[in-house]
Structure 1
Amino acid sequence: MSQSLSHHLLVAMPLLQDAFFARAVVYIVQHDDDGAMGIIVNKPVAMTQAELFGNLGIPAESSATAPPLVFGGPVMRERGFVLHGDQQEWESSVSNDHWSVTTSKDVLQAVAGGTGPARYQICLGYAGWGAGQLEQELASNAWLTVPARAGLVFDCAPYERYDAALSELGIDPAMLAGGGQA
């Protein structure tokens, strides 16, 4: 592996037609010689944050400004992964030098109570790559990469993140072969 893509975004090229990854923007949490872990951040799901908390029996303060839940990837889709920009310690977190992904209920309880991370995205599932798999996909031009920026991941609406990520690279999505709106 030549360089880690931790704290980068993968942006799916139009040729990537896999149902899970077509037009996906994936935040790479970890990437090393053993593989990679990422969270898709641009595919909203029908479930709301209030419904998720209700299903988990977590009392929640009403928040009309809660970010929509997103499909985080095909692995462990029934489990919540909270991508957040703070380095606060939670019961079960995976961190890089910038952001963390937490899977423990304590972060959800804090979010529900209004004391959680200021910037967060709740994702259902995650994406994983085995050793060398992501490098092969990059070599076959399945993905573009762009450094992650909090404004793009936490402030942009999920459905706007694909075009915004391409714009970070100076690319007009309509100019990509097959890149028109789906």
Structure 2
Amino acid sequence: MRTAGVPEGARRSEDNRRLLEIQNPALAAEGIWAHGTPRPEVGGLVISSLEAPELLKDDRMFQLVIFLTTHGPEGSVGLILNRPTGMVLGRKPGGLPLELGGPVPIQRVFQDNMVYCGGFTAQQVIHIMHGHRLQNCVQVVPGVYMAGEVAATEAVSGGRLPAADFKFFSGAITWAPGELEAQMDRGAWYTAACSRSLVLKSALQLPVPLWREVLQLMGGQYAAVAREGDEGDE
């Protein structure tokens, strides 16, 4: 049922915002936004076009939203934000079929955290992302950090931070030098800057999928792509 005078996509994206207000009020209070950028940038998003699977000859590229952690002359690396694996990090039924070594019991402390498919390269490598400046973490952009597993585990086990503040990714998506730009020129990808709330929030059970939400927030021609993708699924 459509609300009179309000586009369906906009109404459903508002439902995403309300869900975030319930899940993480502090993050929701920072606001949610995204706008297009002419080229890729570290800490920005790479969003697949509707034509990406055909252009890249890879059906896995369907409606991806990727957070770019590295971009430069040596190539690019990103983490897919909207591909949950259905597995949790813990070593239990439905859990990660890997034993993560290290000095802290990360799989026990974060046993119920969902693992996302970060990409198709080195999927045995688990990456941690969060919004806290912890010891030995690496800042991607202000307010978004990678690594710092020991400090994260100690903070959560000590009750100072909630486990839900941390996201885990299996593998990454990679591009050789110049490859991402070349694929953009062919029309496979859009790029955007965005609020950290879009990066750090859960992508599980959203009223509107993250790919559509981001494009709707970008507005204009991108919102039209989101509508076209929505219609194609009906």
Check if 1:167 corresponds to 2:216.
yes
- 1:43 and 1:4 mapped to 2: Cα distance? 21
Equivalent residues of 1:44, 1:71 under 8 A apart = yes
1:12 to partner: Cα distance: 0.5
Where does residue 128 of structure 2 map in the other structure?
Answer: 82
Q: 1:54 and 1:12, CA in 2 relative to 1: closer, same or farther beyond 3 A?
A: closer
Where does residue 21 of structure 2 map in the other structure?
Answer: none
- Aligned to 1:69, the other structure's residue is in SS state strand
- 5+ long unaligned stretches in structure 2: 1-37
Where does residue 100 of structure 1 map in the other structure?
Answer: 145
- 1:100 and 1:53 mapped to 2: Cα distance? 26
> In proportion to residue count, which structure has more helix?
2
- 1:62 and 1:121 mapped to 2: Cα distance? 10
Per-residue CA deviation, residues 34-67 of structure 1 (Å, 9 max, x unaligned), is 2111101100102113324984373635876x4x
Stretch moving more, 5-14 or 162-171: 162-171
Using structure 1 for the length normalisation, give the TM-score: 0.78
- 1:74 and 1:111 mapped to 2: Cα distance? 30
Q: Which amino acid aligns with 2:73?
A: D
Where does residue 59 of structure 2 map in the other structure?
Answer: 19
Number of corresponding residues:
175
- 1:74 and 1:132 mapped to 2: Cα distance? 19
Where does residue 16 of structure 2 map in the other structure?
Answer: none
Equivalent residues of 2:45, 2:68 under 8 A apart = yes
- 2:177 and 2:202 mapped to 1: Cα distance? 31
Check if 1:136 corresponds to 2:182.
yes
Q: 1:110 and 1:45, CA in 2 relative to 1: closer, same or farther beyond 3 A?
A: farther
1:19 to partner: Cα distance: 3.1
What is the root-mean-square deviation of aligned Cα atoms in Å? Answer: 3.2
Percent of aligned pairs sharing the same letter: 19
Where does residue 73 of structure 2 map in the other structure?
Answer: 33
Check if 1:10 corresponds to 2:46.
yes
- 5+ long unaligned stretches in structure 1: none
Q: How does 1:147-162 map to 2 (within 5 A)?
A: 147-158=193-204, 160-162=209-211
- 2:61 and 2:131 mapped to 1: Cα distance? 24
Using structure 2 for the length normalisation, give the TM-score: 0.62
- Aligned to 2:77, the other structure's residue is in SS state strand
**Selected match of 2:168 from 122, 134, 141:** 122
